Amino acid sequence: MNASADLSFVSLISHASLVAQLVMLLLMGVSVASWYYIFSKMLAVRQARRDTEAFERLFWSRSDLNVLFEEGQAARHRAGTLERIFQAGFRDFLKLRGQRADGGALVDGARRAMRATYQRELDELEAHLAFLATVGSVSPYVGLFGTVWGIMNSFRGLANVSQATLASVAPGIAEALVATAIGLFAAIPAVVAYNRYSHDIDRLAIRFESFIEEFLNILQRQAATEASRGRDARGA
């Protein structure tokens, strides 16, 4: 086998030690899994952003919250994150209003319902981000372990050689360095994706929280108006 064939990528992996090959196999599997989560998270965040923008436009263009709620209930399987938060809060508001609770209880109940839904939806958006963070932080060290192990084996093999030359050392070191290269290949996209999606999800979370506060203000004004009408009716 000539030198170029010996130093080809496939040949370096096939001639590496068993431990180094196991490390490479692990890193390749982790890399495939991280790419799967990178693309699935990209689609999920993009869809959440589109759904949020669409519902915000719909919400602020409607004057009757009851109609908006009923339309959302009829198509709840297509509801986005922000719409599910709205439905949770308004559903609790209507239930407590039917029980003739006071205005403070109405708003507090809606706030708790929306906060619970908000937390569930945020946990769903953040799913598998921890995996990407772990891949990004651990993969280089796993690859380095394979490299160190390969270099150790390479130098142990040189003990039986009477005269060590660069040509005899280069293949073993190259085999060992492949593990570090694969570790970096797994880590770099995972780190970039984690930072990007964490930023995008944080921005969505801010939009959700802003909507919750604005919607609570609307419910508070609506509860105050209904309480005032009730007092006027009793006074009359």
Average pLDDT over residues 168-184: 78
Q: Which residue has the higher pLDDT, 176 or 15?
A: 176
Q: Which of 15-19, 32-36, 140-144 has the lowest mean pLDDT?
A: 15-19
pLDDT digits (tens, 9 = 90+) for 119-154: 999 999 999 999 999 999 999 999 888 888 877 777
Residues 9-24 have a mean pLDDT of: 73
The tokens describing 98, both together, are 């039917």
Lowest mean pLDDT among 97-111, 126-140, 151-165: 151-165
Q: What is the mean pLDDT of residues 223-236?
A: 64
Q: How far apart are CA 139 and CA 1, in angstroms?
A: 32
Percent of the chain's residues with pLDDT above 90: 47
Sign of CA dihedral 10, 12, 17, 19: negative
Q: What is the largest CA-CA distance in the chain?
A: 112
Closest CA to 76 of 64, 90, 62: 90
Contact 143, 183 (CB under 8 A): yes
pLDDT of 71-92, one tens digit each?
888 777 788 899 999 999 999 9
Mean pLDDT of all residues in 175-195: 90
45 within 8 A of 136, measured Cβ to Cβ = no
pLDDT at 138: 93
CA dihedral (218, 221, 224, 230) in degrees, to 10, reads: -80
Q: Judging by beta carbons within 10 Å of its beta carbon (0-12, 13-18, 19+), is residue 64 exposed, middle or buried?
A: exposed
Under 8 Å between Cβ of 81 and 205: no
pLDDT of residue 1: 39
pLDDT in tens, 203-224: 999 999 999 999 999 888 887 7
Residue tagged 């598998």 (tokens):
128
More confident residue, 93 or 235: 93
Position with higher pLDDT, 146 vs 11: 146
Looking at residue 105, its pLDDT comes to 85
Q: Phi and psi at residue 75, in whole multiples of 5°?
A: -125, 45
Choose among 37, 38, 28, 35: nearest CA to 143: 28
* Confidence at 167, pLDDT banded by 50, 70, 90: low
